[in-house]
Structure 1
Amino acid sequence: MNPISAFTATSLYHLRKGTVLKEITLQGYTLKIIAAEFCLWILAEWPQGGQIAFKAAYAANDHLEVESIEETDAIEIALKGTTVAIKVTIVKPDAHKPIFGFKTVLTPLFDMLVPYWPRDIMPLYNNGKTQNTKGTIHAAQVGTRSGLLFFSLEQPHIGSVFYFQDLGSLQKYCEHTETSAGDLVGGSWPELGMKLPVTTKEKPLKAGEEYIISDAYVLLSNVVPNDNYQVSQQFINHLADIYLLLPHPDTQYHDWPDMLSKGLNDLETHKGCWQFADGRSYLNAYVSDYKTPPESMVQLAVLLPLMDYDRWSGENHCPVIETLHNGLENFFDKRLGTIARWLPAKTDDLDRSEEQKKLDIMDSWYLHHPLLNLSRLAIDGDDVAKKLLLDSIEYVINVAHHFDYSWPVFYNMATLEVIKAETEEGQGGEKDVPGAYAHLMIQVWQLTGNKKYFDEAVTAARKLDGLGFDIFYQANNTAFSAGALLRLYKETKDELFLNLSYLCIAGILKNVQLWDCNYGNAKHYPTYFAIYPLKDAPYTAAYEEQEVFAGIHMFLKEADGMDEILPSVRLLLAELVKHVINRVSYYYPPRLPKEVLATKSEIKMGEIDPNLWVALEDLQDGWVPSGQVGQEVYGAGIAFGIVPRQFYKIEAAGFMVFTEYPACEHKVGKNTLSFYTRGDSQLNFRMAILPLKDKLPAKITVTGITAGLAKESITPKTGTSATYTDYTLRGDSHLTIKW
C-alpha cells in the first residue's frame, strides 16, 4: 500500500461521492466529468477496467458550485466558490486518437497567496483507491524543460499515459508572482501531475485577474511498454502526437550571413578572444580569460565550422584557419601518446580550481571530442590531422579496454586511476561516451579501412544496451551517438543499433523546452525547443546547441532513404532544427538588452563584452541574468555551422535559398534549382530567396510536390521583405525554383 497525503485521501473521499456532470466517449475510453466539493475531476476509464483521475479545477477548503455547462466543439464549465471563479474548457483535439485536453482559468476574488498546490493526477484501482496502485514513471519534467509526464499503470495492468502541460500558458501567473515554471510536472507515485509555483506575500495573484493555471493534453494508451526501447519509441511517438496539437510560436528570418560576418570580424580582431602561448596564438575558451591554458577542443570547435563555411563560401579565410591549424600539433602530449585537453607547454598554469583543471585529469567525453574533429579533418584530406589522430588512437583504445567501455566521469590519464566514478551516487559514469567512442571508431574505420576500428565501434555500442533515458549525459555527445548508431544499423542490420539510436533521440527530446518562457528577462529571447546541455543543467548552452544541431543533420543524412525510420522522428527533428535557427542568435550579446546580462561580479569565466558578436555560454530562466558562465569563444561556430547547412547559393543566378528545415538533393539546371526538404507534410517551414548582391532575378516561380498531393504553385507571403522573398512550405516536399 502506498502512503498518501491527507489531501489525496480527502480528494478520494469526495470523488467517490461526486456528481457526474457529463460522460464522453474517446476512442473506446470513457471520460466522466465529476464535480466533487472543492475539485472538478476528469475520470478516464480504460475499456478493460482501471481509472485515472485528472484534477481540472481546485479551490482550497472551498465548495465549488457549477454555474453553467455549455457544449459546442468543446465543453465549457463555469465554477464559483467563495474564494475563486474558475472556467474549465475540455476538448477532444484529435478525431482519430485517444487524446483530450483541458484548460483552466482561475480568477481570485481577493489578492491570493498560493502556499501549496496539490498535484493533479490520481491513478485509481477499480474500487476507487489510489493506495494500492503501482506504476512506473518513465519521464518527468526536470528544471525548465517540457512540462511532461510519461507513466505506466501496472497495478491494475491497463496501459500508460502521456501528460503534457503547455507551460507557456502560465506566463501571466509567473510574471505577476515572479515565479518560475521549472520543476512543476512530476511527483512520486501515486501523487502525480502538475503543481503550481508557490507565491510570496509580496507577489500574490491579483483579485479580479484571470490566470491560466493549467493547459494540459493527455494521451491515453492501453500499452504498458516492456523495455527501454518500447519506452523510448512510445515517448517519441506520443510527443509527436501532442506536438501537432500545440500552438507553435512564429519564427523569424534572421540575417545569419550578416551575423556571421560580424562574428568573424570580432573573432579575428578582438584581443580578448586570443592568447599567445608556446610560440603560437590560440583561442581562449572565454573572452578575456587569460588564466586558463589553451584547450584543444576550443581550437577545433571553431576550426571545423569555419572550414565548413570556407568551403561553402568559396572565400579565403586562411588567416584564422591557418592560425588555428598551425597550433594543433602542439597539443600532442608525447609523454602520454595522445592529443591532450590542455596545451602541454602550459599545464603549469592550471589553477586546480576544478577537478579537470589538474594535471592529467581527464573528463571522459573530452578525450574523444577533439579526436572526432581531427577525424573529420583527416577524412577531408588533412595530413596533419590524420597523423595526430592515428598517433593518438591506440591510447584511446587502451583507455576503452581498461574501463571495459564504461567510462567514469574523471580519471588520471597517466595512471588510469578513477578520480570520480559517477555523476551522482548510484547513477554511473558518462553513459553516452560509448556512443561517442563508437562514432570516433567509425570515422577511423572510414579513414583507414581497417576493420578492427569498426569492431571496436560495435563492441562499444553494445555497452549502451539496457540503458533508458539515462543514456543522455551530454546533449552533443548523445546527438552524435544517434547518428553513429544508425550507421552501425545500416552496416550490420542489427536492430539493436536502430533501437539504441531512438533511445538517444528520445533522450535529447526529453531534455528540450517545448514552451516559451516569456516572463522576466526571457521576454527578450525565445526559448521554444531550447536544448539543455546536461540532464540537470539549469540553463541552455550555445556550444552544445550548435553541436546538437550538427548532430541532428548527421542523423537525418544517415536516415535518408530508410523507410523504417519512425515518421515521428523525422517530424520532431526537423522542427528542432527550425527552432534552433530561430533561437540561437540570441546567444549573441548585441541581440539582448544589456540589463538581462550578468554583471561583472556574477561572471564565472573572463568577462562579457556586450557589443561583441561572440556567444554567451548560457541563456537562463527568465528570472536569472544570462551569461553567468561567460562569453564562450568556442561557441563562435554557431553562425559558421548554420549558414552552410541552411543556405544554398546559386552564383550564376545571383541568389541563395534559405530553408528552416534541413534540405538535401540539390540539383541545379540551366535556370532551375530542385531539392528535397525533410520533415513532415503536416507542418510548415519558412523558405527565403535572397539576392547575393543587389537584387533578385525579375521572375522567380516556386512549385512543390508533397507526397500524396498534386503539384502546386507556391506564392510568396504577403508583406514579404524588400530584401528577400519569403515563402511558407510543407515539410517532406520536393521543391523546384525556376527563374
Structure 2
Amino acid sequence: MNGFSPWYASVYQSLTDGAVQTLYNHSLHGYSVQAKLSEHALWLVIDWPKGGSIALRTAYAPDQALQLTGTKTSAGGIRFLLGSPLGEHVVDLKFDPADLPLFHCSVSFTPTQPLMFPFWPRDLVMLGKSAHPSGHVHISQKGHRSGLLYFSLTKPVIGSVLYFQHLGSLKDYNEDTHTEAADTVGGQWPEIGFALPAGTKPLKTGKNYMLSNVTLLLSDAIPKTEFEKAEQFLQMLSEIYLHMPKPGTDYHNWPDILQKSLHNLQHNPGCWQQFEQNAFLNAYVSDYKTPPEIMVQMAVLLPLMDYAEWSRTEIALVDVMKKGIPAFFDDQIDAIGRWLTSQEDKLDQSEEHKKTRVMDSWYLHHPLLNLSRLAEKGDKMAKDIFLTSLEFVIKVARHFKYEWPVFYNLDTLEVVKAETQPGKGGEKDVAGIYAHILLQAYELTGLQRYLTEAKKAARSLNGKGFDLFYQANNTAFTAKALLKLFKFTGDKNYLRLSYLCLANLLRNTAIWDCQYGNGKNISTFFTLFPLDDAPYTAVYEELECFSSFHEYIRLAQDVDILPSISLLLAEYVRYMLHRAIYYYPPALPEDMISKEPKTGEIDKRLWIPLEDLQFGFNQSGTVGQEVYGAGLAFAMVPRHYFKLPHADIMLFIDYPTFNHKNTRSGSLQFDVKGDQRLTCRMIFLPLNGKKTGPVKVTGRRNEHTSVYQPRREKDGSISVQVHGNQKIIVELNKTIKHGKRS
C-alpha cells in the first residue's frame, strides 16, 4: 500500500460514507454494479460476491455540479444523460449477455466552450469497509501498447481485474488536443486506471468526444505463481478480445509485393556491398559505413529459401548469399561471429555494439538458429559451422550461468554492459534462444548432451515472470523451444513456461487502431513491439514472431494448449497480413516518412520495408530502410497461399493452416487453426485472368458440419468467411458438377 493524494482521500471518503446518490443497481453473475452520483462525478461501484469493492469514475465535471438529466434502459444496459456548466455527458453501460462478469462503459462529452484539461485524475478507486485495500498491479500500459491494467486486490483477499481501455475510441480527443494515447493507463496503487492526456489545444465547442471506452472483466481468483498470472492474463485478454469491436481487414496482393521486393533486392545497389569476390547485404539501404553482418544475411536468406521451396523455382540470390556465409567464421573463437571478419576493424566504434570484439548476447545465437535450419535442409556447410560454433556458445552460457548480460567481450568474456536498465537485468530471453539452438543440435545429431544443456538453460527462465521479455523475436523463439522441450520430456513446467513467454509477448502488443495524426494513414491494430521500451513497432521482429507463431501452432497440434493462445496467435497473424504493407514506403504518404533516418538513406520507391512504424504524430522510418526486414513477403506468401490441384486457382487464407491434402476426387482439405468463435477470410484467386468457377466450401468440427456461401467479387475472385478451429474441404466446379475430378 503506497501513500495517496488528497484527491483520492476525498473521493474515498465520499464513496464510503454513504453520502452519494444511488441511481442504478445491477447484479452481474454474483457481482453488484451500482451507479452512484456524487457532486462532480458519476461512479460505478463494483462489489465482489465475497466482499471488497472498486469504483470506476465515468462522467466527470471538475469543480462543477454534475446533474442527471435523463436515463434510458435497455435489455443489455442503461444510458445516463448528465449535464454541467462545462457540457453534456453521455454514459453508456452495457453488460455482456454471456456467462461472464464482464461489462463495458463508454463516456462521451460535448463541451459548451473551448475547454483544455491540463490535468486528469486516474479513474479507478480501491474501496474497503474498514481500511484501504492493498493490491498488486501485474501489468500496465507501456508507451503505445494496449491500454490495459491487470491487477489483483490482495488484502483483504478480493479478486483480480483486467481493465481494458479501447484507446482507438479516443482518436478525436487526441487529434484535436494534439495529444498521444501513450502511457495513459497506469498509475501507482491505489490511484490507478486511465487519465486523459493533458492537451495543449482546446476541444471544439459543440463537438462530441469519446473520453473513455473501457471494458472490465472481473474474477474472484488471485493468482499466486507466475504461471497462474500468465494463464489468467491470457484467458482474460482473450475474453475481452472476443467482446471488443475489431476493425475490418483488407486483402493485399502479397505475391505481387514479393515480386517487387525481390526485384529491388536483386537490382538496387543500395542493398549490397562487395568484398573478396562475395556480395553481402547491407543492414540498411545505402549504409556503406557499417561492415556486413551475418544476422542480416541469414534473416533474408531463410525466407528466400522458404519461398523458393514453395514456388519450386531457383532464386539466384540464394546461392549468392550462401557463398558468403563462411567469411563470417571467427577463427579467434572458433565460431560464427557477428561481423565479416575481414572488415571488423572498420567498425566506427560509435555505439557499444559497433566496437571491435564486443558481442550483443542474443546476436551470437540468432545466426546459429538460422544455420541449424539451413542444416535441416541438408546443407553440409551450414551444419559444419553450426556444430563447430556450439562449443564456444556453450562455454559462454556456462560462464554467465545462463544469465546473459547485454554486451560482453568475445575474447575475455568480460562484461561490457550488464543490464538493459539499472536493476532490470540483462537479456533474459537469451536462455530460450540458446535452448532452441541446442534442441536443433539434438535433433540433428541425437546427442543427449545437447538436450541436457537445453534443459539447464530452460530452467533458468523460472522466476522471470512478466519481465522475461527482452526482444520480441527471441521471446517467440523461446516459447517454441519450451513447447518442444515439453513434447520431448512431458514435463509440464516447460509448457507453462512457454505460456509465460506468450503472455510476455501479448502484453507488448497494441490491440487498438491509432487513427489520429499520422496514424490515420496506416493500421496499427494488433501490432507487436520489438523491445520492452521501444516506442515503435519493427518489421524484422514482427516477421520473425509471425513465423514463430505459425510454428508454435503447428507444434501444438497434438498438445491440449490453452484456447486463449490459439485464438490470440491466429488473430495476430490475421491482422499482420492486413497491416504489414504499411512498412513499405510506396504504401505511405511521403510526408509521413522521415527525411533524416539514423542509418543509411530512404528510397521511397523501393519495396524494402522501413524498420520502424511510429504511432500518432511521429514520422516513421526514423531508424532507416531495413534490408534485413526484406524477408517479410517471402515469409508470408508460403504460409498463406496454396495452389489448388488441377486448377489455375490460388487460395489465400489469413489464418494459420496445416495438414494440406489433395484428394483423389480433386478437392483440397486442410485444418484451419484459431478459435471457432471467430472467422477468417478465404479468397480464391484466378491465375489465368479469368473468373474462378463455382466452389463449395465445407467446414467440419467433430460431428458438426457447415456449408459456407462464397461471394463473387468484382475482380473475378471468390471470397468466403469461415470459422476457425476446423477442417475445411474445398471442392471445385468440376468436382461439384460431376462428383469426381474430370
Which TM class, normalised by the smaller chain length? over 0.9
| Structure-1 residue corresponding to 2:675 | 680
Q: Secondary structure at the match of 1:25?
A: strand
In percent, how many aligned pairs have the same letter?
A: 48
Offset of 1:58 from its aligned partner? 1.0
- Counterpart mapping for 1:188-587 below 5 A: 188-200=188-200, 203-317=201-315, 319-563=316-560, 565-587=561-583
- Cα RMSD over matched residues? 1.1
| Structure-2 residue corresponding to 1:736 | 729
Q: Return structure 1 stretches of 4+ with deviation > 6 angstroms.
A: none
CA distance in 2, matches of 1:413, 1:383: 26
Over 3 Å counting, the alpha-carbon distance change for 1:707 and 1:53 in structure 2 is: farther
Q: Secondary structure at the match of 2:160?
A: strand
Report if aligned partners of 1:542, 1:635 keep a CA contact under 8 Å in 2: yes
Q: Alpha-carbon deviations, 1:712-738, whole Å to 9, x = none? A: 2212236x2424211111011211111
Q: Alpha-carbon deviations, 1:443-462, whole Å to 9, x = none? A: 01111111111111111000
Q: Which one-letter code corresponds to 2:114 in the other structure?
A: D
Report if aligned partners of 1:287, 1:632 keep a CA contact under 8 Å in 2: yes
Scaled by the length of structure 2, the TM-score of the pair is 0.97
Q: Among residues 663, 667, 670, which one is paired with 2:661 in the alignment?
A: 667
CA distance in 2, matches of 1:157, 1:701: 55
| Structure-2 residue corresponding to 1:27 | 29
Q: Secondary structure at the match of 2:506?
A: helix
Q: Among residues 622, 626, 634, which one is paired with 2:628 in the alignment?
A: 634
- Counterpart mapping for 1:54-73 below 5 A: 54-72=56-74, 73=76
| Structure-2 residue corresponding to 1:621 | 615
Q: Alpha-carbon deviations, 1:465-485, whole Å to 9, x = none? A: 111111111000011111110
CA distance in 2, matches of 1:419, 1:615: 32
CA distance in 1, matches of 2:109, 2:193: 18
Report if aligned partners of 1:707, 1:732 keep a CA contact under 8 Å in 2: no
Offset of 1:138 from its aligned partner? 0.3
Q: Are 1:649 and 2:647 counterparts? A: no
| Structure-2 residue corresponding to 1:92 | 95
Over 3 Å counting, the alpha-carbon distance change for 1:487 and 1:67 in structure 2 is: same
Q: Alpha-carbon deviations, 1:273-295, whole Å to 9, x = none? A: 00112331100000000000000
CA distance in 2, matches of 1:692, 1:329: 40
Q: Which one-letter code corresponds to 2:110 in the other structure?
A: T
Q: Are 1:596 and 2:592 counterparts? A: yes
| Structure-2 residue corresponding to 1:49 | 51
- Counterpart mapping for 1:144-159 below 5 A: 144-159=144-159
Q: Alpha-carbon deviations, 1:494-536, whole Å to 9, x = none? A: 1110110000000110000000001111111100000100011
Q: Which one-letter code corresponds to 1:238 in the other structure?
A: M
Q: Secondary structure at the match of 2:285?
A: coil
CA distance in 2, matches of 1:19, 1:717: 54
Report if aligned partners of 2:601, 2:624 keep a CA contact under 8 Å in 1: yes
Q: Alpha-carbon deviations, 1:366-408, whole Å to 9, x = none? A: 0000000000000110011011111111000000010011100
Offset of 1:214 from its aligned partner? 0.5
CA distance in 2, matches of 1:251, 1:721: 17
Offset of 1:648 from its aligned partner? 1.2
Report if aligned partners of 1:14, 1:37 keep a CA contact under 8 Å in 2: no
Offset of 1:613 from its aligned partner? 0.4
Q: Secondary structure at the match of 1:652?
A: coil
CA distance in 2, matches of 1:213, 1:530: 23
Report if aligned partners of 1:432, 1:472 keep a CA contact under 8 Å in 2: yes
Over 3 Å counting, the alpha-carbon distance change for 1:452 and 1:270 in structure 2 is: same
Over 3 Å counting, the alpha-carbon distance change for 1:696 and 1:311 in structure 2 is: farther
CA distance in 2, matches of 1:359, 1:611: 35
CA distance in 2, matches of 1:540, 1:549: 13
Deviates more, 1:10-19 or 1:466-475: 10-19
CA distance in 1, matches of 2:56, 2:688: 58
Q: Which one-letter code corresponds to 1:668 in the other structure?
A: N
Q: Alpha-carbon deviations, 1:328-354, whole Å to 9, x = none? A: 000001111111111110011101111
Offset of 1:35 from its aligned partner? 0.2
**Unaligned ranges ≥5, structure 2:** 733-742
Offset of 1:697 from its aligned partner? 5.0
Offset of 1:707 from its aligned partner? 4.4
Over 3 Å counting, the alpha-carbon distance change for 1:349 and 1:721 in structure 2 is: farther
Deviates more, 1:160-169 or 1:692-701: 692-701
| Structure-1 residue corresponding to 2:700 | 705
Q: Alpha-carbon deviations, 1:641-660, whole Å to 9, x = none? A: 00001111235322121110
| Structure-2 residue corresponding to 1:185 | 185
Q: Which one-letter code corresponds to 1:66 in the other structure?
A: L
CA distance in 2, matches of 1:343, 1:94: 61
Q: Among residues 114, 117, 121, which one is paired with 2:117 in the alignment?
A: 114
Report if aligned partners of 1:654, 1:696 keep a CA contact under 8 Å in 2: no
| Structure-1 residue corresponding to 2:739 | none
Offset of 1:578 from its aligned partner? 0.4
Offset of 1:139 from its aligned partner? 0.4
CA distance in 1, matches of 2:509, 2:702: 29
Offset of 1:12 from its aligned partner? 2.0
CA distance in 2, matches of 1:298, 1:151: 40
Q: Which one-letter code corresponds to 1:609 in the other structure?
A: D
| Structure-2 residue corresponding to 1:722 | 715
Q: Secondary structure at the match of 2:625?
A: coil
CA distance in 2, matches of 1:452, 1:328: 27
CA distance in 2, matches of 1:38, 1:417: 60
CA distance in 2, matches of 1:92, 1:327: 61
CA distance in 1, matches of 2:207, 2:711: 37
Q: Alpha-carbon deviations, 1:8-59, whole Å to 9, x = none? A: 1222233231101111101101111100110111101111111111111111
Deviates more, 1:302-311 or 1:269-278: 269-278
Q: Which one-letter code corresponds to 2:169 in the other structure?
A: S
Q: Which one-letter code corresponds to 1:469 in the other structure?
A: F
Q: Alpha-carbon deviations, 1:67-97, whole Å to 9, x = none? A: 1121112210011111121110001124300
Q: Secondary structure at the match of 2:483?
A: helix
Scaled by the length of structure 1, the TM-score of the pair is 0.97
CA distance in 2, matches of 1:316, 1:723: 30
Q: Secondary structure at the match of 1:703?
A: strand
Offset of 1:703 from its aligned partner? 1.4
Report if aligned partners of 1:278, 1:345 keep a CA contact under 8 Å in 2: no
**Unaligned ranges ≥5, structure 1:** none
CA distance in 2, matches of 1:735, 1:695: 25
Report if aligned partners of 1:125, 1:155 keep a CA contact under 8 Å in 2: no
Q: How many residues align?
A: 728
CA distance in 2, matches of 1:377, 1:695: 39
